[in-house]
Amino acid sequence: MSWYIVMLYIHIFSVVLSIGPYFVLFPLLALIRRAPFEQLPDYLEPFRITVRLTKHAGHVLVATGIILTWITAWSWKTSWIVATVLIMVASLYFIARAFSPLLRQLKAPHEDRNLLVNKLRKALIWYVIITLAMMWFMVSKPMIW
């Protein structure tokens, strides 16, 4: 098996690990909304674990993406690569600003849990959209310019 195939499989697996776990979190939102405050940390822990897992999967994703670009004929100036990198930078900024502050707020005593859960749901939806857009560029490889 060639290095290209190995890197491609690792790259694809890291994409799955970067996006997939977020879909499991949607059902937890209802539980977080109605759980007693004492049980809330148990429901927030999967969010923390998911953010950490996807962060490390993202490191593998970037490293294998760089290697794949280096060992293939693709140029860093290729439109779909540029678009993917721009979306990736946006997603890094987004994930840093979206989840951790909301999870910290939910762990502390607060007035309106529904408002925070709604913000968390919205952040979850946006992150999935951002990462699926990135995946679309990687799979379809559209030539924009």
- pLDDT tops 80 at residue 96: no
Is residue 16 in some structural domain? yes
Is residue 8 in some structural domain? yes
Is residue 53 in some structural domain? yes
Is residue 145 in some structural domain? no
**Residue 67 buriedness (CB in 10 A; 0-12 / 13-18 / 19+):** middle
- pLDDT tops 80 at residue 138: yes
Is residue 135 in some structural domain? yes
Question: Domain residues for 55?
Answer: 3-140
Instruction: Give the global pTM.
Output: 0.84
- pLDDT tops 80 at residue 95: no
Q: d(Cα 3, Cα 22) in Å, to the nearest integer?
A: 30
**What total of structural domains would you count in the chain?**
1
C-alpha 142: how far from chain center: 22
Q: Read off the pLDDT band of 89 (50, 70, 90).
A: confident
| Cα-based distances in Å from 115 to 34, 65, 92, 102 | 13, 38, 24, 10
Is residue 108 in some structural domain? yes
Mean pLDDT of all residues in the chain? 90
Is residue 71 in some structural domain? yes
What pLDDT is attached to residue 67?
95
Mean pLDDT of 41-59: 89
- pLDDT tops 90 at residue 80: yes
